[in-house]
Structure 1
């Protein structure tokens, strides 16, 4: 059984008896405690909702005494370049509040490391260190213009920090207030390429007055798939002309990626798009969806406990980024098999419930002799039927009446006798100290408003969600954790928190170490679930690093959009 750990972050009070902090600050929590500045009492906080894409979390405290003498901070407008700001928080977990001054040096679409997303961000020339995450950035009027969430870690750059822009925070809060939960940020539903080359524009029948971006691929699970086609030219979005570089006017004398327009909308909103198809101008409209719905390989687990299924010692899991971290460590993007990285980078869903199912490993037993060396190989079919997801595989196995269970993998076929498999499974599970043959289904990762258990002070894990670490690797934190969110504000509004993280039960399946030959470099979202002071890093690339093809760039274009240096969460 793993021991509990704890960590601290910063945060601040806003209207409605609520507290804002970072999502990576409360990830995998069991109990969240907060403490006001200059106070010695710690209060239990309840997580109302959180958004991984924007790295924001919303908390509340039920105890009325906590809110005495608390004056919520107000939000200001997006700051101009060269505007002075101060970042308030508790870097390195100190006991006293820290105030750091900086200047706004850039406002543009930034990579959010925790959620593998691209949203509006503010770059400042002040370092954001561990513990500062969630702290407010204030203007000269003491209004919040951003929230500290990550910094750049590079030998070529010093004192560069990043803030969640106020407009992103406003979107997050309005989303929760409207839907009583976080529904996410939208994606345009297609990948694209710049049209700056003269020959390319001429080939696509563009006149000298036309400008726009080339649609390379349309996500099949997106409503855009009904109205857009590859090689369409998107010339405008919601009436705003798109340049050949994929930018639109933004503030005075600035331009920004057209993706910004999409991120200001909410799930279910309709976007109006003008396109050029075969030399003809057309107007189309379609509904926007959550950006994460298109990801074939998810960035974050939606359950507190990852899914798995076992039969005859064969252990099946769904591929996800946290699973790769568990298997191959912090440098998983260099060690994981190229086949898995290729699906993460360029894969998109054919169906909304599609998953990549892996034969993760084989637990040695007489029934599976000669299969024990199979590790992290994709399962394509079961008894001739193509898999949709892990639950589909488990259902087919349970309902199977044939003599044999046949699993078609990428490179080989695994077959076991059905009756022998059923008889051997219980003994194999007992031998390897695995409490259950499967864990499949919805397990809520956060209790939303109106769904809290008991008095709402703490969130209890029900059912089989006991923090079992199926893959048994510390890098893949699937245990219950408790992270304190320090609440910052003006004078008496600043609070500090800490908490303990519950350890997993330690009886998960021990994974075999597999050699990877991947050569792609991927960013790694920062999470607050470590509790060991280690910051998660995002490697931004040097012109050769690849990113997910479901980002706002096409996979080929993405390789040219790298930005030198590394970013890391400031938690």
Structure 2
């Protein structure tokens, strides 16, 4: 499971208050700095090109004292040009939460504690200013960065602090939009077309790893892969599903919500998570970060600006992944062919729901959506959420061992309480 990154911020007293607002957490035992430069010829990128220059003094003076060599180096590159275009639009996002007066726990009632509590930093992430509209400017960040907030602050690139207002959030895609005053906004980032990305092209991450003390840190890598389905859960238990860009540009706790940019300085992704370890043995993993593609981001933030939330279609079913069902139950209850190994079991279907109206019943096993194979509930949600309310979704399923198909007209029906793998 991919984990989210948001950096707890230490209090001035020296005590570190731990909050679980991020999903990437973990013990940070130190800082590992890895530097890498590559030089390619024939029109490729050379990060540092030096002009021909002659030293005006040797490495030592007449008294044999060591001197700095006066060799001029032109450090401009595609990377520095790209970073300069967007760096001032990158901010640190500070999540403020209520803290009860010290020693008051259990003494006052809940309402009294809330009245007496003060907001203090609970964690930090990153964000990027993407729009300026009159007196207001808009920032995109991750939902898990702002989750549980009682207030929000934004630390601008010049060190200015701004109070931020939460415009809207979407847990499913792990995105959120904030609004600040545009008075101190000088730079607004531009989104690039993530559909045009190619595996192997340069990728640059900017953000606040470990918090605002390291704000505007830049790391560079490549696009490692595209269309990676990354699933996790938010702090509140909601499913998070991202069709992500994979990159080996270093993404650390605190980078969440910051931009992934291309060589042209355009935002092509919003950094969201990384895999730090794998398997029960906790095998360490390096260079596996994930970003939400810009084309998906723009669709979500435009709707969040307008409505404060995302309206999605629903089937009105609770469901289970077929691979969680025992062989005995498959044979005796579901009665599916042995060749059907993956799919989604309809656990229940609400009365007058889109699914029941279309004829789906309990214990039907859905194997395709719009003729594309579905192996689990995450993939079914992904197919469903590509649709709009009122659209039709063709579902192929097995009932009593026979394959059938129905067209479901989607609505906003949310009548069934989420169970196990959830309601859709």
Do they superpose with TM above 0.5?
yes
- What SS does structure 1 have at the residue aligned with 2:285? coil
**Inter-partner Cα distance in structure 2 for 1:290 and 1:174:** 23
What is the 5 A alignment of 1:156-167?
A: 156-159=283-286, 160-167=288-295
Assess, with a 3 A threshold, how the Cα gap between structure 1 residues 65 and 205 changes in structure 2: closer, same or farther: closer
Aligned counterpart for 1:224 among listed residues 355, 367, 387? 355
Offset, 1:265: 2.8
TM-score (norm 1): 0.43
- Assess, with a 3 A threshold, how the Cα gap between structure 1 residues 207 and 49 changes in structure 2: closer, same or farther: same
Native 8 Å contact 2:388 2:410 kept in 1? no
Map residues 377-392 of structure 1 onto 2, 5 A cutoff: none
Q: Evaluate the alpha carbon distance shift between residue 233 and residue 19 of structure 1 in structure 2; reply closer, same or farther with a 3 A threshold.
A: same
Shift of residue 58 of structure 1? Answer: 0.4
- Give the alignment's Cα RMSD to 1 decimal: 3.8
Higher strand share: 2
1:298-331 deviations in Å (ceiling 9; x for gaps): xxxxxxxxxxxxxxxxxxxxxxxxxxxxxxxxxx
Q: Call closer, same or farther: CA 1:294–1:144 in 2, change over 3 Å.
A: farther
- After TM superposition, list the pairs within 5 Å mapping 1:117-156 onto structure 2: 117-154=240-277, 155-156=282-283
SS at match of 2:230: strand
Distance 1:280 1:53 in 2: 31
Aligned residue number for residue 232 of structure 2: 112
The answer as to whether partners of 1:12 and 1:21 remain within 8 angstroms in 2 is: yes
Residue 224 of structure 1 aligns to a residue whose secondary structure is helix
- Partner of residue 300, structure 2: 172
Asked if structure 2 preserves the Cα contact closer than 8 Å seen for 1:150 and 1:163, the reply is yes
Q: Is the 8 A contact 1:133 1:148 kept in 2?
A: yes
Q: Hey, what does 1:86 align to over in structure 2? A: 204
Alpha carbons of structure 1 residues 145 and 72: separation in structure 2 relative to 1, 3 Å: closer
Q: Contact 2:313/2:385 (CA < 8 Å) preserved in 1?
A: yes
Counterpart-to-counterpart distance in 1, 2:128 and 2:255: 12
- Give the equivalent residue in structure 2 for 1:193: 322
How much has 1:30 moved relative to structure 2? 3.7
Classify the secondary structure of the residue corresponding to 1:65.
coil
Which residue in the other structure is 1:336 paired with?
A: none
Counterpart CA distance in 2 for 1:118 and 1:186 is 16
**Would you say 1:262 and 2:384 are equivalent positions?**
yes
- Work out whether residues 177 and 304 of structure 2, in 8 Å CA contact, stay in contact via their aligned partners in 1: no
Where 1:132 maps in the other structure, the secondary structure is: coil
| Aligned partners of 1:213 and 1:234 also within 8 Å | yes
Structure 2 residue matching 1:53: 3-state secondary structure: coil
Q: Deviations over 1:175-215 (max 9, x none)?
A: 325x51213555653334269x9xx79x957699x998353
- Gaps of at least 5 residues in structure 2 are 1-99, 102-117
CA 1:275–1:216: 2 relative to 1, 3 Å: closer
Aligned length: 284
CA gap 1:193/1:273 in 2 versus in 1, 3 angstroms: same
Structure 2: distance between partners of 1:261 and 1:73: 28
SS in structure 1 opposite 2:120? coil
Flag structure 1 segments of 5+ consecutive residues without an equivalent: 248-255, 297-347, 349-547, 553-571
Displacement of 1:268 in angstroms is 5.6
Question: Runs of at least 4 residues of structure 1 off by over 6 A?
Answer: 205-208
Measure how far apart 1:129 and its partner are: 1.9
User: What residue in structure 2 maps to residue 52 of structure 1?
Assistant: 171
227, 234, 238: which one aligns with 2:366: 234
**What residue in structure 2 maps to residue 359 of structure 1?**
none
1:182 and 2:346 are equivalent in the alignment: no
Contact 2:193 2:295 in 1 (8 A): no
Where relative contact order (Cα < 8 A, 6+ residues apart) is larger, the structure is 1
Q: Is the 2:152–2:163 Cα contact (8 Å) retained in structure 1?
A: yes
Query: What does the per-residue CA deviation read over 1:26-53, in whole Å, with 9 as the maximum and x for residues that have no partner?
Result: 233343232432x233222221111222
Give CA-to-partner distance per residue, 1:381-419, whole Å, 9 cap, x none. Answer: xxxxxxxxxxxxxxxxxxxxxxxxxxxxxxxxxxxxxxx
1:499-519 deviations in whole A, cap 9, x for unaligned?
xxxxxxxxxxxxxxxxxxxxx
Aligned equivalent of 1:5:
120
**2:176 maps to 1:66:** no
Q: Which residue of 1 aligns with 2:149?
A: 29
- Identify if the C-alpha distance between structure 1 residues 268 and 58 changes in structure 2 by more than 3 Å, giving closer, same or farther: farther
Pick from 64, 77, 81: which aligns with 2:194?
77
Aligned in 2, Cα 1:191/1:287: closer, same or farther, shift over 3 Å? farther
Contact residue 320 and residue 347 of structure 2 kept, 8 A: yes
Cα distance in 2 for partners of 1:4, 1:212 equals 48
In 1: Cα distance, 2:263 partner to 2:365 partner: 44
